[in-house]
Each structure stands twice: as structure tokens, then as C-alpha cells.
């Protein structure tokens, strides 16, 4: 069984609780053990980098050190946490002075970081070829033919990881492959890497609302029945604020937004409640009920 140090991030304890439960369920089904990190702290989001670079680095260093003590590589389900942890791990690897400075700080919590932790996004775990094969063999008909827009978000691919070609971050395909392995039909989604507006939903509502409007419109235009996300901030902006986007932009969207782990869980036969389905503000019930009938008729 593959084991990882699981870094849920703050959102998965609250707004994105359904991402948390569905991640655990799917991992369990696929033989992956997610061992939650002991006393992890916030990654600092974007705010800490706005204030001070060292401050942002020290927060993530603590998490890296905790994972190292656990002896495991990190898995983070949130794009922003993933990016912060990953870029910090890289900076510490490349800059010995910075690492020394951070280790001086870490001593205050009886921690040390030697630089040996790899940071993965949760999706990385499920898109390995062997894993895709397992998913293909285990997937039932619950989401077969479901037209899904694969919304990567930005920080899952950017800034680019070392060794990754520009073409791979321009038009990645692994999310599509994962959805297809689960039986769904990924639609071409030109906006799949475009920003959801992130914290602008708070700091500049008009800007973020228009960004979300464009994302939703693109999915509608491509005939998607649901948008799948891999980030709690993307999910919140696209889903929780969908009503406000409609109000501000004069639109009439009613597009369910589910986490990729919820769709994967459905395909693997996990019950809807155990996947946190039903916690959405834009209900996915009609969509999934329709699927059940279709699957039964086939």
C-alpha cells in the first residue's frame, strides 16, 4: 500500500469538507493510505507572500519538516497549498542559506528539515499509468458518458515544476485521462487552465465574477453537464459564488461543480453521502439521478 503524508489544508476542514471525505474514500478504494500530518498549519495562501517572503517560507517549512519526521512524501489536494509547499521545498533545496535560516526557526518547535520531502498534488497520485488501469477495471457505470469539463485551475501546473516542458503546462491531458478512465466523457475545455479569480472574489468582486462567468460560459458552450475541480478555491468561486455571478453579470447559470474525487468515488461505487455529495449550493442531485436511470436502463 502506498502511503503519503496527507496535508488537507484549511479549506478541507470547512468549505471543502466534501473534497476531504471523497479523497479519503477514493484513496481507500484504490489502496492509497493518506496519513494526515500531525498538527499541520496553514500554508499561508497568497497573503503571506504579500507580506514577507521569509514569513511565507517559514510556514511551509514547518509542514515540510513535519512530513519528514513522518518519513513520508506529501500529498496536498488544494492547488494553492500544493504550489506553496512545492515551491518552498524547491527553494530550500536550492538555497542552503535559506535552509539554514529556516532550520534555525524550526528549532523553536523542535523540528528540522533535511530537504528530503517530495510534494505531490492529490491528482498526481491517481494519474499514474498503473492507477489509471486499476480505475478502468474497477469503474462501474455511475458516471459513464457524463460530460465533464476538466477544470485544472492554475497553480496545479504553474509555475512549472522542474523538468516539465512548456507544452505540458500549456495543454496537459492527465485530468482528461483520469475522467475517461472513470468512464466519463471529458469535453474539450479551452478555459481549463484559466484562473478562477482566487482571492479576488473577496478583494475585487467584479473582476472575479467576470472571470467565473467566462469559465462557466465556456463549459456551457462545450456542452458540459458538470465541471470537475481539483482545488477548493476554484470550487468555492465557481459554485458558492455562482448565484452572485448571476446577479452581477445578468446570467442564469446552474452548473454543478464537483470535486474530481467525488466523480471518481461515484465511478468506484462509493455512496453519494460518503462522498459529501449534497453539500453543494448548486445541486448535483438531478444530474446524478439522471445518471442512475440511464445506467439502470443500459
Q: Which residues bind another protein (CB under 8 A)?
A: 10-11, 13-17, 39-42, 44-55, 57-59, 62, 91, 94-95, 98, 101, 104-110, 154-155, 158-160, 166, 169, 193-195, 197-200, 202-208, 211, 240-241, 243-244, 247, 278-281
CB nearer another protein, residue 206 or residue 274: 206
Contact 66, 110 (CB under 8 A): no
Which residues are bridge partners to 122 per DSSP?
none
Q: Which is nearer to another protein, 9 or 265 (CB)?
A: 9
Q: What is the four-CA torsion angle of 217, 202, 15, 25, rounded to 10 degrees?
A: 50
Counting every residue, how long is the chain?
298
Which sign, positive or negative, has the C-alpha torsion 105, 110, 112, 118? negative
Instruction: Name which of 5 and 59 has its Cβ closer to another protein.
Output: 59
CB of 165 to another protein, least distance (A): 11
DSSP string, 83-123: HHHHHHHHHHHH-HHHHHHHHHHHGGGT----S---EEEHH
Q: How far is the CB of 243 from another protein (least distance, A)?
A: 7
Paired residues of 127 in beta bridges: none
The residue with cell 453521502 is: 273
| E strand map for the chain | 2-6, 32-36, 74-76, 119-121, 147-151, 185-186, 226-229, 257-259
Q: Report the nearest approach of another protein to the CB of residue 194 (Å).
A: 5
Residue 140 CB, nearest approach to another protein (Å): 27
Determine the Cα–Cα distance for residues 151 and 196; give it in Å rounded to an integer. Answer: 10
**Dihedral pair phi/psi, residue 45, rounded to 5°:** 45, -140
Q: Which residue, 210 or 222, has its beta carbon nearer to another protein? A: 210
Residue 184 vs 201, nearer CB to another protein: 201
- Give least dist CB 287 to another protein, A: 17
Smaller CB distance to another protein: residue 174 or 235?
A: 235
| Min separation Cβ 38 and another protein, Å | 9
Closest to another protein by CB, 194 vs 294, is 194
Closer residue to another protein (CB): 182 or 200? 200
Residue in this structure with the C-alpha cell 494553492, named with its chain if needed: 80
Q: By C-alpha distance, which of 102, 109, 113, 90 is closest to 41?
A: 109
- In the complex, what is the shortest distance from the CB of residue 297 to another protein, in angstroms, rounded to a whole number? 31
Amino acid at each position: 500500500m502506498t502511503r503519503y503524508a496527507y496535508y488537507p489544508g484549511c479549506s478541507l476542514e470547512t468549505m471543502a469538507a466534501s473534497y476531504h471525505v471523497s479523497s479519503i474514500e477514493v484513496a481507500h478504494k484504490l489502496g492509497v493510505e493518506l496519513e494526515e500530518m500531525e498538527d499541520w498549519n496553514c500554508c499561508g495562501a497568497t497573503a503571506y507572500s504579500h507580506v514577507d517572503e521569509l514569513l511565507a517560507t517559514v510556514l511551509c517549512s514547518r509542514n515540510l519538516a513535519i512530513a519528514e519526521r513522518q518519513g513520508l512524501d506529501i500529498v496536498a489536494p488544494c492547488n494553492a497549498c500544493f504550489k506553496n509547499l512545492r515551491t518552498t521545498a524547491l527553494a530550500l533545496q536550492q538555497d542552503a542559506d535559506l535552509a539554514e535560516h529556516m532550520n534555525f526557526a524550526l528549532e523553536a518547535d523542535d523540528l528540522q528539515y533535511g530537504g528530503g520531502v517530495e510534494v505531490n498534488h492529490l491528482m498526481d497520485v491517481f494519474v499514474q499509468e498503473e492507477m489509471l488501469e486499476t480505475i478502468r477495471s474497477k469503474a462501474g457505470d455511475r458516471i459513464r458518458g457524463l460530460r465533464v469539463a476538466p477544470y485544472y485551475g492554475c497553480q496545479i501546473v504553474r509555475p512549472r515544476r522542474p523538468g516539465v516542458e512548456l507544452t505540458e503546462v500549456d495543454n496537459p491531458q492527465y485530468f482528461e485521462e483520469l475522467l475517461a478512465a472513470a468512464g466519463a466523457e471529458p469535453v474539450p475545455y479551452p478555459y481549463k487552465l484559466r484562473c478562477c479569480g482566487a482571492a479576488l472574489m473577496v478583494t475585487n468582486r467584479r473582476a472575479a465574477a467576470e472571470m467565473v462567468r467566462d469559465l462557466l460560459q465556456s463549459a456551457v458552450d462545450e456542452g458540459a453537464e458538470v465541471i470537475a475541480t481539483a482545488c477548493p478555491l476554484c470550487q468555492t468561486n465557481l459554485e458558492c459564488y455562482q448565484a452572485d455571478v448571476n446577479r452581477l453579470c445578468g446570467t442564469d447559470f446552474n452548473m454543478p461543480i464537483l470535486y474530481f474525487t467525488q466523480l471518481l468515488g461515484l465511478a468506484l461505487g462509493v455512496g453519494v453521502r460518503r462522498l459529501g455529495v449534497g453539500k453543494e449550493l448548486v445541486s448535483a442531485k438531478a444530474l446524478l439521478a439522471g445518471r442512475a436511470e440511464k445506467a439502470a436502463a443500459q
